[in-house]
């Protein structure tokens, strides 16, 4: 049996890259005082109907939606921001702290055509700053995304930004944009024709060349911004310049979800392929209120993890692997002794692997070499009878027999020496 189309096993050899991403994100976000949050994978469908928008592709085409045994309308979450907004409202987090700085990492689900870097079960790393409507909050989240990509050694990307204005300005622009496109309706591609009466701003994302030619003549949303919205956007641009983060203004950038307003942004990989958006986000000032909470502004972003891992520099093997020991036993009495040994190794944080193959000692030692263990801890007949233990050092090709009760101080001292030698060799 195979995995369901659009899903993928993440194998042990791949996990280290995922862990590296998680811990680098955790370290960076902690510096900025952001806290991790985990929300359920399943949510009431109403969470996304209220926020994402009925006419978006996510709702109309891509959502995994079903009735559970209690006939509740349930879905697998297609994105993370609405879940965070719902969690803030339902848990009344705003009563604890006015500004909520949160981040998440987890699986999302959309019924899309699977491609390289895009699966039906995919993972998002997201960051949300809730409670501030100042442009500096927009700058903070963009700066964190930029710093994260730098730490992951992702290269060759650029930032695109736009302002969508407030709800009224966006609505006015939508009417003007729709009126413009109606004059060219017969020349639009089929998908754009379907979107015109329901979600016209999504036509700006069309990949059809003819439709893009038409859009180039369309009015820009910047002409519909009030002075207040323009000041907000100008401040964002000013601070990006101060932080030396290069950017391009893309007046066609609107993002695909209904809850966005004011600042919208994407970080785009310059590598030539269709799936080149690394990070997308923006401001959403009414989302918490839609879930019964107070009128709290917010801004955030999400990164597709699979796509990010394709572009980040490969993770180097961890040095701690070379200090792993292989526990080798010869009989049932040795296996009993190994149970106690495993316990004391665990208590002292010394990595080990218990050989479970019931092979001869020579074969178990060969397996330890293949596993790149630093040494074998051997408990044979003699060791059991004399209450000793034999350490065979594989990298130095010698062995020692010591009293069993001395094993921990002995190993700790040896590991400390080996670590110093490794550091010295690296410097030399």
State how beta strands 121-130 and 157-163 pair. Answer: unpaired
Dig out the tokens for 360 from the structure.
């001869």
Dig out the tokens for 55 from the structure.
């006419």
Residue 41, Cβ neighbours under 10 Å: how many? 14
| 306 is known to lie in a ligand binding site | no
CB-based contact 118:323 (threshold 8 Å)? no
Counting Cα atoms < 13 Å in the Cβ hemisphere of 130 gives 31
What DSSP assignment string belongs to 189-214?
A: -HHHHHHTTT-GGGGGG---HHHHHH
| 307 is known to lie in a ligand binding site | no
pLDDT of the residue at 315:
62
Say how far apart CA 56 and CA 133 lie, in whole Å. Answer: 26
Query: Could you say which DSSP state residue 315 is in?
Result: P
Model confidence pLDDT, tens digit, residues 34-71:
999 999 999 999 999 887 876 667 777 789 999 999 99
Q: What backbone torsions phi and psi does residue 267 show, to the nearest 5 degrees? A: -105, 120
| 79 is known to lie in a ligand binding site | yes
Residue 290 to residues 55, 86, 158, 425, Cα–Cα distance (Å): 17, 9, 33, 60
State how beta strands 65-67 and 42-44 pair. Answer: unpaired
Q: What backbone torsions phi and psi does residue 388 show, to the nearest 5 degrees? A: -120, -175
Considering only CA atoms, give the Rg of the chain: 28
Model confidence pLDDT, tens digit, residues 275-315:
688 999 999 988 899 899 999 999 999 999 999 998 887 76
Tell me what the mean pLDDT of segment 246-268 comes to. Answer: 87
| 80 is known to lie in a ligand binding site | yes
| 313 is known to lie in a ligand binding site | no
Model confidence pLDDT, tens digit, residues 108-135:
999 988 888 789 999 999 999 999 999 9
Q: Is 70 left (phi over 0), alpha (psi -120 to 50) or beta?
A: alpha
- Which domains, and CATH codes, for the chain? 12-166+226-311 (3.30.930.10), 319-427 (3.40.50.800)
Angle between helices 227-242 and 135-151 (to 10 degrees): 30
pLDDT of the residue at 422:
57
Tell me what the mean pLDDT of segment 341-349 comes to. Answer: 93
pLDDT of the residue at 54:
65
| More confident site: 157 or 286 | 157
| 121 is known to lie in a ligand binding site | no
| 124 is known to lie in a ligand binding site | yes
Say how far apart CA 428 and CA 23 lie, in whole Å. Answer: 29
Considering the chain, what percentage of its residues have pLDDT values greater than 90?
58
Name the strand (E) or helix (H) holding 303: strand 298-304
| 81 is known to lie in a ligand binding site | yes
Nearest Cα neighbor of 103 from 2, 19, 32 is: 32
Sheet strands side by side (includes 298-304): 35-36, 100-109, 121-130, 298-304, 277-283, 261-269, 157-163, 247-249
pLDDT of the residue at 316:
59
Residue 323 to residues 156, 348, 404, 419, Cα–Cα distance (Å): 37, 13, 20, 9
Quick one: pLDDT band at residue 322, thresholds 50, 70, 90? low
- To which residue do tokens 């926020």 refer? 51
CB-based contact 114:5 (threshold 8 Å)? yes
């Amino acid at each position: 049996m195979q995995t369901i189309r659009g899903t993928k096993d993440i194998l042990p050899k791949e996990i280290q890259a995922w862990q590296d991403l998680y811990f680098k994100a955790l370290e960076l976000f902690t510096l900025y005082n952001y806290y991790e949050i985990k929300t359920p994978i399943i949510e009431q469908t109403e969470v996304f109907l209220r926020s994402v928008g009925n006419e978006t592709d996510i709702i109309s085409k891509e959502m995994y939606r079903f009735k559970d045994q209690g006939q509740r309308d349930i879905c697998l979450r297609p994105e993370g921001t609405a879940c965070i907004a719902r969690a803030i409202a339902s848990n009344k987090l705003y009563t604890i702290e006015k500004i909520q700085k949160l981040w998440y990492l987890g699986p999302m689900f959309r019924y899309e055509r699977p491609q390289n870097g895009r699966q039906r079960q995919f993972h998002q790393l997201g960051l949300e700053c809730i409670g501030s409507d100042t442009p500096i909050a927009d700058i903070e989240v963009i700066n964190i995304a930029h710093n994260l990509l730098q730490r992951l050694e992702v290269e060759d990307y650029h930032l695109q930004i736009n302002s969508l204005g407030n709800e009224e300005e966006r609505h006015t622009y939508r009417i003007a944009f729709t009126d413009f496109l109606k004059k060219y309706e017969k020349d639009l591609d089929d998908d754009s024709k379907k979107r015109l009466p329901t979600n016209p701003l999504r036509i700006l994302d069309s990949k059809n060349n003819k439709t893009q030619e038409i859009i180039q003549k369309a009015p820009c949303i910047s002409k519909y911004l009030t002075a207040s919205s323009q000041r907000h956007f100008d401040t964002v641009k000013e601070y990006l310049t101060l932080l030396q983060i290069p950017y391009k203004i893309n007046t066609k950038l609107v993002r695909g979800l209904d809850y966005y307003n004011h600042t919208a942004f994407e970080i785009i990989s310059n590598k030539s392929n269709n799936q080149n958006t690394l990070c997308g986000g923006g401001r959403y000032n009414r989302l918490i209120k839609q879930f019964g909470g107070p009128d709290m502004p917010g801004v955030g972003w999400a990164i597709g993890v699979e796509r990010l891992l394709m572009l980040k520099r490969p993770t180097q093997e961890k040095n701690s692997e070379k200090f792993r020991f292989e526990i080798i036993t010869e009989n049932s009495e040795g296996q009993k002794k190994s149970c106690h040994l495993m316990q004391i190794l665990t208590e002292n944080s010394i990595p080990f692997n218990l050989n479970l193959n019931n092979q001869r000692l020579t074969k178990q030692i060969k397996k330890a070499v293949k596993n790149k263990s630093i040494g074998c801890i051997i408990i044979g007949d003699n060791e059991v009878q004399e209450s000793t233990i034999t350490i065979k050092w594989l990298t130095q090709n010698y062995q020692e027999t010591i009293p069993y009760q001395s094993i921990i101080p002995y190993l700790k001292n040896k590991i400390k020496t080996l670590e110093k030698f490794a550091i010295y060799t690296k410097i030399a």
